[in-house]
Structure 1
Amino acid sequence: MTTPRPASSRRSRTRANGDGTVYQRKDSRWEAAGYVLAPDNTRKRIHVYGTTRKEALAKLTEKIANSNRGLPVPSAQGSLAAYLTYWLENVAVHQLRENTHTRYTAVARHYLIPGLGRKKLAKLTAKDVRTWLNQLRTTCQCCTRGIDTGRDEPRCCAVGTCCSKRLSPLTLAYVHSVLKSALEHAVREEEIPRNVARNVRTGTPRPRRFEPLTADEARQILTAARGHRLHALFELALHTGLRKGELLGLRWEDLDLDRGTAAVRRTLQRTNTGGLTTLPTKTRASERRIALPARCLQSLKHHREQQQRKREAAGATWQYNGYVFTTPQGRPIDPTNLTRTFTTLLRKAGLRRIRFHDLRHSTATLLLEQGVELVVIKELLGHAHIGVTATVYAHVRLRLQRNAIDLLGHALRNPAETTSPLDDGGGPPLCAAPVR
């Protein structure tokens, strides 16, 4: 005869009303079920699963706790538009930077919701995503989004002549990545069994082509910036490859001019809600300490003396914030205003127009041309992985290619051959990257 369980054991597994139920299935998994708040302010019963009773119970407890705090639990039977709204307002807003969240919201509003928003989350297939992406790739955005009708002078569909403005491969890949991120969270919340967007391949977009500055062009910029109140900033940008926000976020306390080092701890950005705001660096690897060359140390010391004189002359009107680079009144510099100043500087130097961020690309390229190890460049630029450095910055100029080919030809040459007129053997041996 089976011995009944003690009453105390049965009572320990009894759950109070509203806490849901937990039981073991025939397939040995554990299932927990309970009622939570739905997006339409109704109560719905949900089911979660785990390999152990404790795991299933923990998942259910977390969902009930979120529901009690007023966070609705999305339904897989609801539309993708409803889930994207829930994800952006309750999940992504706490995990992304404000500017990134703003871009994600714009992608959802302009592309995802109009194209796939009516689809049921549970019934979305890889074919749906692929068909929509193909349509997005081949459709004029002026016509689809009604951009032309809102212009003061229509020049596309409104006048019967389509301009065929289509999304670039990079934008298309970004839109796809936002959808993947949203569906990945739906998988983690066990709303859907798999992320169908991961089964769709958009291809790897080619990185933006750009022509970095040559050493002569970089010298022209520094010559044009001589005497400018931000001369030290442009010199620091070209010598260290710091990002725009990292340069503007530097404080005097981050610089050790005696030891010749700078600590990169923050970035200055403009956000919609906070205005000019200091934020953590882009990644953990971006928080770093770098060495400063002698020229930058001299210009920074001169810049500090000038700033001190202006501060004394301004008196109480000076707004001290501790930043290295400021406006004439002591306030932090808006990144957009720095871009305008840089464009004016390029025009003064008689150079082609480039982005401020291309100074960073140019620094890496010039370092590669001088034979600097890739791992050193990676540490200087603050990349998390050396693969990022190798992929983005490993474009080698024709001169480096020619030197490398000549070096190989020199190694493969038959010693019995006579020296050519171009190489009488009296010069130094060829090297792939001469250091100047």
Structure 2
Amino acid sequence: MAAEKKNRANGEGTVFQRKDGRWEAAAYVLAANGNRQRLHVYGRTRQQAMDKLTDAKATSNRGVPVVHAQGTVANWITYWLDTVAVHRVRETTHTRYAAVARLYIIPGLGAKKLSKLTAKDIRTWLDGLRTRCQCCARRTDHQRPAAKQRCCAVGDCCRQVLSALTHTYIHTVLKTALEHAVQEEEIPRNVARNVRLGTPRPRRFEPLTVEEARRLIDTTRDHPLHPVVHLALHTGLRRGELLGLTWADLDLNAGTAVIRRSLQRTSDNGLVLFPTKTKASERRIAMPVACVEALRDHCVRQQAEHDAAGLRWNPRGYIFTAPSSALPVEPSTLNRRFATLLHQAGLRRIRFHDLRHTTATLLLDQGVELVVIKELLGHAHIGVTATVYTHVRLRIQRNAIDLLGQTLRNPDTGPADRSDGDDLPGNGILLPVR
């Protein structure tokens, strides 16, 4: 009697070894479009391939679509955002990732099969983003009232193209998503890494001068934002770090502050306290006497305002609160009020974050060493301090080349012969750090 042929049960799937030595397993699972499609997974061993297939079938049996390389880029990006990135990055970063996917990646590459995506596809798409008016591409103008239409809706393109930084950021998000597909062995390589973009030139920023910084401080003297601006200019704290400060973080007698948190508004949960941007950002900083005095005066005013409003005294202990409220100041409100202060001071419009740039530049201008500035600003690497937040002034450059010129003219005179090689001409220190 012939031996009975052993058959696999319906839906169990198949597994076999490929010519390249890898093992391949396949079965029908629920796809993103609601139909059942055949899924192929791979592994270095038979057990590894079967484990992947078992996990996929278990997901499918729960009614959850299985995302795989045979699916589209849109399906993979959505899966990556909802199941991977959401647990690995901050909520604010995840919101930016999702916006990039919704506005650029899915409309441009979403219909392509993940397994068929090539470097040429990505480069062609990125080149189109670089040159095409985004107002026309997203039909933004057609969504405006007729009286405010000014671009493609009236036949006059505004040429609103993406900046180089945004262009690079879009590429980075796609590259990160595809890297995870490689880690899960859905695709053999990350083709986005084969697309090279030029390094974008950072935005040129001219920090406030000593005179401009003094004028800003004088303008805010009797303004509720005076202690915020004062502390920002003297310490270089980020906006979120300032708004997340509580009175418990300060030691006014010692003149120090501990930076532990950052206050940010999120789309889902409103105002949220997050840990500092990096581990190095969690730090203890010194405050000058002027800042300590400003904070003492602010504490007295805040308590009087709360008493007059009949509020329970600042239950969460925030230092910078909304008028007649124990709630912290909204980041967007701070930006608007800061813009008004700049106008009142007769200064050019800058971002609130640019006060941080100003602090670093003025400290460097006064001869403070980079390592001290790095610790004050809470940078993880000194290279960030040197290349991003400090802009060497023309006067410092002139001092350097004058010193070199003097040395070349007189070989007996050099830095070793100077009484103090660190002395720089100037009109005094504006922002003392103690």
Normalised by the size of structure 2, how large is the TM-score? Answer: 0.86
- SS for the counterpart of 1:81 is helix
CA contact (8 A) 2:318 2:328 kept: yes
* Residue identity matched to 2:121: D
In structure 2, the CA distance between the partners of 1:71 and 1:430, relative to structure 1 (3 Å rule), is same
- Equivalent residue, structure 2, for 1:239: 234
CA contact (8 A) 2:303 2:313 kept: no
Q: Are positions 1:289 and 2:284 aligned together?
A: yes
* 1:32-431 equivalences in 2 (<5 Å): 38-40=31-33, 42=36, 44-50=38-44, 72-152=65-145, 153-316=148-311, 320-328=315-323, 329-414=325-410, 431=422
1:319-368 deviation digits (Å, cap 9, x = unpaired): 53210111122211101111111111111211111100000000011111
- Equivalent residue, structure 2, for 1:422: none
CA contact (8 A) 2:22 2:42 kept: no
In structure 2, the CA distance between the partners of 1:24 and 1:325, relative to structure 1 (3 Å rule), is same
Question: CA RMSD, aligned part only?
Answer: 3.0
Q: Which deviates more, 107-116 or 247-256?
A: 107-116
1:390-419 deviation digits (Å, cap 9, x = unpaired): 2202421100000111111222222689xx
* Residue identity matched to 2:32: P
Q: Which deviates more, 123-132 or 252-261?
A: 252-261
CA distance in 2, matches of 1:163, 1:192: 40
CA distance in 1, matches of 2:12, 2:419: 82
What's the offset of the Cα at 1:54?
Answer: 7.7
CA distance in 1, matches of 2:62, 2:383: 43
CA distance in 2, matches of 1:64, 1:259: 62
CA contact (8 A) 2:219 2:345 kept: yes
CA distance in 2, matches of 1:430, 1:276: 49
CA contact (8 A) 2:281 2:378 kept: yes
In structure 2, the CA distance between the partners of 1:23 and 1:238, relative to structure 1 (3 Å rule), is same
What's the offset of the Cα at 1:83?
Answer: 1.4
What's the offset of the Cα at 1:275?
Answer: 1.3
- SS for the counterpart of 2:279 is coil
CA distance in 1, matches of 2:300, 2:230: 17
In structure 2, the CA distance between the partners of 1:143 and 1:22, relative to structure 1 (3 Å rule), is closer
What's the offset of the Cα at 1:98?
Answer: 2.0
Normalised by the size of structure 1, how large is the TM-score? Answer: 0.85
1:268-323 deviation digits (Å, cap 9, x = unpaired): 11111111111122222222221222211121122222222223333346653210
Provide the identity percentage: 64
CA distance in 2, matches of 1:194, 1:433: 54
CA distance in 1, matches of 2:195, 2:302: 55
Question: How many residues align structurally?
Answer: 413
- Equivalent residue, structure 2, for 1:10: none
CA contact (8 A) 1:407 1:432 kept: no
Ranges in structure 2 where 5+ consecutive residues have no aligned partner: 1-8, 430-434
1:19-65 deviation digits (Å, cap 9, x = unpaired): 98988877666667777654345475442324x77866776676567
CA distance in 2, matches of 1:302, 1:290: 20
In structure 2, the CA distance between the partners of 1:253 and 1:114, relative to structure 1 (3 Å rule), is same
In structure 2, the CA distance between the partners of 1:353 and 1:114, relative to structure 1 (3 Å rule), is same
CA distance in 2, matches of 1:92, 1:131: 26
- SS for the counterpart of 2:224 is coil
* Residue identity matched to 1:252: W
In structure 2, the CA distance between the partners of 1:295 and 1:133, relative to structure 1 (3 Å rule), is same
- Equivalent residue, structure 2, for 1:8: none
CA contact (8 A) 1:364 1:393 kept: yes
In structure 2, the CA distance between the partners of 1:22 and 1:144, relative to structure 1 (3 Å rule), is closer
CA distance in 1, matches of 2:409, 2:46: 73
In structure 2, the CA distance between the partners of 1:349 and 1:174, relative to structure 1 (3 Å rule), is same
